[in-house]
Structure 1
Amino acid sequence: QRQATKDAAQLAGLNVLRLLNEPTAAAIAYGLDNASEGIFAVYDLGGGTFDISILKLTRGVFEVLSTGGDSALGGDDFDHRLFCWISHEAQLQPLSDEDTRLLMVKAREVKELLSTKDEVQIDAVLKSGEEVHLSITAAQFNEITQHLVAKTMAPVRKALRDAGLTVEDVDGVVLVGGATRMPHIRRAVGEFFKTNPLSNIDPDKVVALGAAVQANLLAGNRAPGDDWLLLDVIPLSLGIETMGGLAEKVIPRNSTIPCARAQEFTTFKDGQTAMAIHVVQGERELVADCRSLARFELRGIPPMAAGAARIRVTYQVDADGLLAVSAREMTSGVEASITVKPSYGLGDDEIARMLQESFSSADEDMQRRALREEQVEAERIVLATRSALQVDAALLSEDERVAIEAQIEAVTAAAQGADHLAIKAAVDALAHGTEEFAARRMDRSVHAALAGKKLDEVA
């Protein structure tokens, strides 16, 4: 979405100095950047969506602590509720599309008038010949839409919980979006946060005004003290696929951007000279349940024993939310990288769905992860043991070799099942059963390395 926004601006001939999220722009418009410190909530109720953001301002630093909202809730829902009320009160027959549009327009006009008047007359003549002559008071409108107002408070509570805050921690509230002109919205927000929300700037223009203030500063028109830093957060974790189809989180969700994190990984098989890097997004434990962002390969890894190579994978998210991933083999220095610019973005409803699924499936996901981890470990130890037997089977008696082969079969059989504890027990048994074999192999390697050398040469 961010990359698409930059591309659209470029096509429109605009010079994009930076991307600014709406809550921060609203805060700047209200001058909260001028020596303000504390926690601020930005309540944004537009025509079709609702968003809530919790910002922390500290000595010129804007940090988004958490975000939330409802992508299917907005001022249009208030219009539709009033439309339904009119249809019911006037006992209208099923309406044609044309009459529906006419009444929806009328409902919107009435809603806007009720923001400044105590009572509004509703008069309309439909194409069907039916006439509407009703009056509605502000109190009645408040009553029939109270459930919609209450619906906005659930995401507000969740955003506070995500930020680890209570209502008492919030120092101020900013109202954004045309739907916040409704008096009962302002009243409900004020009662919830126990403070008078800031609403003296046109809620339809407050974001544009804040963006203009920021652009003016970035263009070099700085006044003393006009230095501030804007920090956003990552809505969903960014990770990498590991053996067994597991998702390993590299940058957890709600991390402040820009940011960079790195983790080291290694090879799975002896002599492995390439590694496939699969970048994923989401909160689930298995890659199949996450969103695939990009794939690339790191080639030219020096052939080594499994687990000996050190591949450092770095994730970097810039201030505009664009992700760059690089992988580097530390011994040889070979490197590969990719910049993730998804051609399609995630809507708020998709993010909310992915988060909800991660919560509801947490127990099941952990069980599945534990099973896959043990299956991967089983595959690793079986491969390593078979490889050792091919090279050094002569170090074992026939009975010892048969016993190890039986333990290998036990691990293979257990790995086909769904009991991760049984797989772990079989793996542990094989590891214990091959300890003497490993010791003999070590002795043989040391003997081969020292044969024919003098003591001072070894030292």
Structure 2
Amino acid sequence: MAAASKSDGPAVGIDLGTTYSCVAVWRHDRGEVIANDQGNRLTPSCVAFSSTEKLVGEAAVNQAALNPMNTIFEVKRLIGRRFSAESVQEDVKLWPFKVVAGSDDRPMILVQYEGKERQFMPEEISSMVLVKMRETAEVYLGKKIKNAVITVPVYFNNSQRQATIDAGATAGLNVMRIINEPTAAALAYGLEKMSVSNKQRTVLVFDLGGGTFDVSLLNIDPGTNMDKGLFEVVAIAGDTHLGGADFDNEMVKYSLREFTRKHGKMDIHSNQKALRRLRNEDCLRESKEDVVFHCTDHH
């Protein structure tokens, strides 16, 4: 991957998440997460299609209840994977949008867009989110952005990492590096601490996201100055299919089982609007908070 020259302008860091994404830039000796056009530093990793337009981020989420089959989310769980993979087959059962098998067993996302049936590869959807991140940075910095570093889960395989690079290229970005998510967090922590202390530190980064869970143990040695600091990865562990979305999926499965138990023959598994209502983000968040509150209260 090519290195950036000073004439290329600033490089940005992008956290391309399962549920949310964000973009940051290094300015004034610190990392700065950039707010989007809604004033939020986190942008939903969601893309929606209609008869007239394509929507990304909050705009896509806001119309999801009325357009569930053409509102795409959690696409990070498809990127670089095979359609026949067990995890993909489990996810497909819970998504309101359609995923079909394409050539070479690639998952293809089926939508209605501008009056036509269209198929998109997962990396194409991811590229649309990356374009949103690039444009967010360009508006804030007032200049074109060509270079980026993109984070991925620790246990992303080569196929998933390459698909992420491809998504970046489609979004008009030169992906300078692919870096593990907890390592990126440790770097941010280390760079901040090195400015106030020259002590060696051992850091455990616990990263439980929307779709993945990563843990990294690192040694941070500031050296004689920040430019010579050393970051050594001691150990890593993770699960590319364990995160907030999985907690949500388990709650949806529980609700479906309870509905079937109480109402017998009525089956809502194929009712996309019902599934979307079960996946309502506000309701799921409140339920999870209630569980945490009660568990904490009893301990």
Question: Is TM (by shorter chain) over 0.5?
Answer: no
Q: TM-score, normalised by structure 2?
A: 0.37
Q: TM-score, normalised by structure 1?
A: 0.26
Larger relative contact order (CA 8 Å, sep ≥ 6): 2
From the two aligned structures, give the one with the greater strand fraction: 2
Q: Which of structures 1 and 2 has the bigger CA Rg?
A: 1
From the two aligned structures, give the one with the greater helix fraction: 1
